[in-house]
Amino acid sequence: MSFPASVVNSRIEAFKQACVERGVKVTHQRLEIYRALASSVTHPDAETIYRIVRKRIPTISHDTVYRNLKLLSDYGLIAVAGTSNERLRFDANMERHHHFVCVQCGLIRDFCSEQLESIHCPQEAHAFGEPVSLHIEVKGVCTKCGSHKKKKK
């Protein structure tokens, strides 16, 4: 359940450089947290990453893992899988539709699109299991957050 070392190593080198560019210190803990994530083909949660990193740094604390995952995602060095960096959101619309998700405020809005109706589940996805539904997720900045930004300038 992990990538070949060559892939991981090249990712790590790119990561180090990206840290330097952004003025983020490359600490031992931070590097191992990144390594754990970059090695995994699934998308582990904080707890899972914590357990992996502990094998290499037994003294690492829970909050260091959380803090670094948050910091790295703020700097765009890693991503959060799925939509919510927040709470659960519910949806009464059970028909096929797609989502626009604001990366700043978490707003989710539905849209439909004829173009997207024709998409069918690609072969590649079948390798992992039996697909049930498919939808598009567009991440972006909503008009509200976009205009706030302008006001600040």
* Residues that bind DNA in the complex, under the rule CB under 7 A: 19-20, 24-30, 45-47, 57, 59-64, 66-68, 70-71, 87-88
Rounded distance, CA 108 to CA 99, Å? 6
Residues 65-104 that bind a copy of itself (CB under 8 A): 69, 73, 76-94, 98-103
Q: Which residues contact 141 (CB under 8 A, 6 or more apart)?
A: 102, 103, 104, 149
Q: How far is the CB of 75 from DNA (least distance, A)?
A: 9
Q: Which residues contact 2 (CB under 8 A, 6 or more apart)?
A: 8, 39, 40, 41
Tell me which of a copy of itself, DNA, none is bound by residue 68, counting a contact when its beta carbon lies within the kind-specific cut-off of 5 to 8 angstroms: DNA
Rounded distance, CA 41 to CA 63, Å? 24
Residues 14-33 that bind a copy of itself (CB under 8 A): none
Tell me which of a copy of itself, DNA, none is bound by residue 7, counting a contact when its beta carbon lies within the kind-specific cut-off of 5 to 8 angstroms: none
Q: How far is the CB of 58 from a copy of itself (least distance, A)?
A: 22
Question: How long is the chain?
Answer: 153
